[in-house]
Amino acid sequence: MAAVTLSSPQKARILAEALPFIRGYHGKTLIVRFGGGAMADPALKAGFARDVALLRLVGMNPIVVHGGGWRIDRLLEQMGIAVRRHRDVRVTDAPTMNVVEMVLGEINQELVGLINRHGAKAVGISGQDGRFIHARRMALPVEAGETEAPDLGQVGDVERIDPDIIDLLLSRGFIPVIMPIGVGADGTAYHINSDLVAGRLARTLHAEKLILMTNVPGVFGRDGKLAYVLTASEAEALLADGTVEGGMRTRLTAALAAVREGVRSVHIIDGGVESALLLEVLTNAGVGTAVRSDAGPHFLADSRSYFAGPAED
């Protein structure tokens, strides 16, 4: 994005325009999944932490869920632990899980420190704390040529979330910073995809907004153009016909489930844009794709039926 120098009246106008958004989201819960390339860029990471602190300080309840991504792979490589994947999912045996927990813990404390530096109070937690994320072993469906489902080790899926500890932290004004580790019934720790955790948390807490930050501008449609609004059925169709691939599949699936279960506003945004989070929450500039329920307005179809209806007097 080109650097822009703003005049004082322009700055004042931007602040005034943020007011209705600040009022609208006051006291509301926003779940933000932080990950992707923004995590690799110290300036973007520090900017993200500042933006989260700002949202808290103007009265919203942000919750951060972060991933570990490439930093896990890098440390595994440095430690000489071979990485195996099944359909893009990292097979996580016990030594791999140790590295996963190490990297997630490190990222978690970095984010907590950065947020705290901006005057808010962040608390880093894992799903093991208070056993709030109940997990189960993730099973991939058996595909052609396989006799049994691949064993992914300690890769988990969310069984359920017990939001007590989150409610407690929010009620005291803390910002929970969550690493995506869950606990199985037998006490085993599982690494869970951070988009899945964020989506499930948004559904459990009936959050006002779910924001999934990613590396790309948003979701691209069949025509190759960025879709800035997708209805649930449009999103489903893009998943079904394979238009959406790779990590975006998991992200869009999590977004879709959240929308279907009543999270009002779900956004997949470009974490590489400076202050993407503030732009998304406090302005009417979209910085990605909004996913919405099928109910609600359909502009041209509504107009067609309005024009076809009886004329008013």
Partner 1 sequence: MSAMGALLPDENILLDVDLAGRTGLFHAVGELFERRYALPADKIAASLDARERIGSTGLGQGVAIPHARIKGLERAIAAFVRTRVPIAFGAPDDKPVSDFLVLLVPAQATDLHLQILADVATRFDDPEFRGMLRACTDAAAARALFADWVPA
Using the rule CB under 8 A, give the single segment among 68-76, 78-86, 193-201, 280-288 that binds partner 1: 280-288
Residue 203 CB, shortest distance to partner 1, in Å, is: 17
Distances (CA, A) of 196 to 116, 137, 153, 191, 252: 26, 14, 18, 11, 10
Closer CB to partner 1, 122 or 232, in the complex: 232
One of 90, 264, 274, 275 touching partner 1 (CB under 8 A): 264
x/- contact string, 26-55, with partner 1 (CB under 8 A)? ------------------------------
42-57 and 94-117 helices, crossing angle to 10°: 60
Residue 278 CB, shortest distance to partner 1, in Å, is: 14
Give the count of residues interacting with partner 1 (CB under 8 A).
32
The pairing of beta strand 288-292 with beta strand 265-270: antiparallel
x/- contact string, 206-245, with partner 1 (CB under 8 A)? ----------------------xx-x--------------
Q: Which two tokens stand for residue 187?
A: 């006490």
Q: Which two tokens stand for residue 50?
A: 């500042």
- What is the distance between the alpha carbons of residues 157 and 77, in angstroms, rounded to a whole number? 25
Closer CB to partner 1, 94 or 285, in the complex: 285
3-state secondary structure of 206: coil
Closer CB to partner 1, 192 or 268, in the complex: 268
Distances (CA, A) of 131 to 97, 238, 274, 292: 18, 35, 35, 31
3-state secondary structure of 313: coil
Confirm or reject binding of residue 8 to partner 1 (CB under 8 A): no
Q: Give me the torsion for CA of 48, 52, 53, 59, rounded to 10°.
A: 160
Confirm or reject binding of residue 292 to partner 1 (CB under 8 A): yes
Using the rule CB under 8 A, give the single segment among 15-23, 96-104, 122-130, 174-182 that binds partner 1: 15-23
One of 2, 3, 4, 311 touching partner 1 (CB under 8 A): 311
Confirm or reject binding of residue 265 to partner 1 (CB under 8 A): yes
Closer CB to partner 1, 25 or 190, in the complex: 25
Distances (CA, A) of 270 to 27, 37, 57, 310: 25, 10, 23, 45
- What is the distance between the alpha carbons of residues 93 and 235, in angstroms, rounded to a whole number? 34
Closer CB to partner 1, 206 or 304, in the complex: 304
One of 26, 84, 222, 298 touching partner 1 (CB under 8 A): 298
Place of tokens 């009543």: 262
Where does this chain bind partner 1 (CB under 8 A)? 13, 16-17, 19-21, 24, 228-229, 231, 264-265, 267, 284-286, 290, 292, 296-300, 302-307, 311-313
